């Protein structure tokens, strides 16, 4: 009731960009090797959008998935070099590296056993789960990775409908880091994913944020996410680890 009949002045909304993280560490901007950018021209469109929003370094993470995208160090590095040469020719000055988003399947287990993972900064392993069913051996696999002196990062935990907040917290307690897609905060993937993303932020469980950039619609949502209160909350708390990857 206080101030019910008084005029209130709207405070101007703070504007900011992704300079507070600087590094986008999960994207599909390498040309022609997964469901992201299909040509170097597509890649450049996405990269220019990311640069315009404050991103200083991009770590491209194409899918490695046995049934669909059997990428490896050769296919990924070839695509990276092609893109780097094109960026150089176009005088586009941004640092771009490559790792992978590993799909949690039997092939992933082989890569772990054979020390053939594509790593971020020589120590982080980005992986994703199926969207339909929870793997029975998640914690065991996290332990296998950490036993090798590596740090697993679970991609977009907010997108798995079966994953509870308690299970995400448990994975984190075993040494797994959690990476949230910023566009989840906009409702891009639906209301349920948005609610889950906000719950992860409220619980203090988000270690990294990223775009998971595939196409221009993601670029628009990535920009829109800058207007959400929960992204501002992450910025103000200052606990994200992205800048350690610079």
The single-letter DSSP state of residue 232 is H
Question: Residue 91 falls within a domain, yes or no?
Answer: yes
For residue 189, pLDDT over 60 is answered with yes
188-197 burial, b at 16+ Cβ within 10 Å, e below that, comes to bbeeebbebb
User: Closest by alpha carbon to 155, among 171, 137, 136, 133?
Assistant: 171
Q: How many domains does the chain divide into? A: 1
Beta bridge partners of 69: 65
Question: Residue 4 falls within a domain, yes or no?
Answer: no
Question: Residue 115 falls within a domain, yes or no?
Answer: yes
The H or E element that residue 125 is part of is: strand 124-128
Decide: helix, strand or coil at residue 67.
coil
Could you tell me the pTM of the whole model? 0.94
What is the domain range of residue 227? 18-245
Phi/psi zone of residue 132: left (φ > 0), alpha (ψ -120 to 50 degrees), beta?
Answer: alpha
- Whether residue 210 contacts residue 24, with contact meaning beta carbons closer than 8 Å, is answered with yes
Question: Residue 32 falls within a domain, yes or no?
Answer: yes
Question: Residue 93 falls within a domain, yes or no?
Answer: yes
- At 82-141, the pLDDT tens digits run 999 999 999 999 999 999 999 999 999 999 999 999 999 999 999 999 999 999 999 999
* Token pair 């005029």: residue: 7
**Sequence-separated (6 or more) residues with CB below 8 Å from residue 136:** none
Q: What is the CATH number of the domain that holds 192?
A: 3.20.20.140
- At 149-174, the pLDDT tens digits run 999 999 999 999 999 999 999 999 99
Question: Residue 105 falls within a domain, yes or no?
Answer: yes
């Amino acid at each position: 009731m206080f101030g019910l009949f008084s005029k209130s002045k709207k405070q101007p909304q703070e504007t900011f960009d992704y300079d507070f993280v600087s590094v986008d560490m999960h994207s599909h901007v390498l040309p022609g090797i997964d469901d992201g950018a299909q040509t170097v021209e597509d890649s450049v469109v996405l990269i220019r959008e990311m640069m315009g929003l404050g991103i200083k370094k991009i770590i491209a993470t194409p899918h490695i998935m046995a049934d669909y995208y059997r990428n490896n160090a050769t296919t990924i590095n070839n695509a990276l070099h092609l893109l780097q040469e094109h960026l150089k020719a176009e005088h586009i000055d941004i640092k771009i590296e490559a790792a992978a988003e590993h799909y949690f399947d039997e092939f992933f287990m082989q890569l772990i056993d054979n020390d053939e993972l594509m790593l971020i900064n020589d120590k982080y392993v980005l992986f994703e789960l199926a969207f339909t069913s929870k793997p029975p051996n998640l914690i065991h696999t996290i332990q296998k990775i950490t036993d090798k002196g590596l740090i697993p990062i679970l991609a977009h935990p907010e997108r798995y409908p079966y994953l509870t907040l308690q299970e995400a917290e448990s994975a984190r307690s075993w040494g797994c880091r959690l990476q949230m897609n910023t566009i989840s905060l906009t409702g891009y993937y639906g209301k349920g994913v948005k609610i889950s993303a906000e719950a992860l932020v409220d619980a203090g469980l988000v270690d990294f944020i990223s775009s998971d950039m595939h196409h221009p619609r993601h670029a628009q949502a990535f920009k829109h996410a800058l207007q959400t209160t929960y992204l501002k909350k992450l910025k103000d708390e200052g606990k994200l680890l992205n800048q350690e990857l610079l």
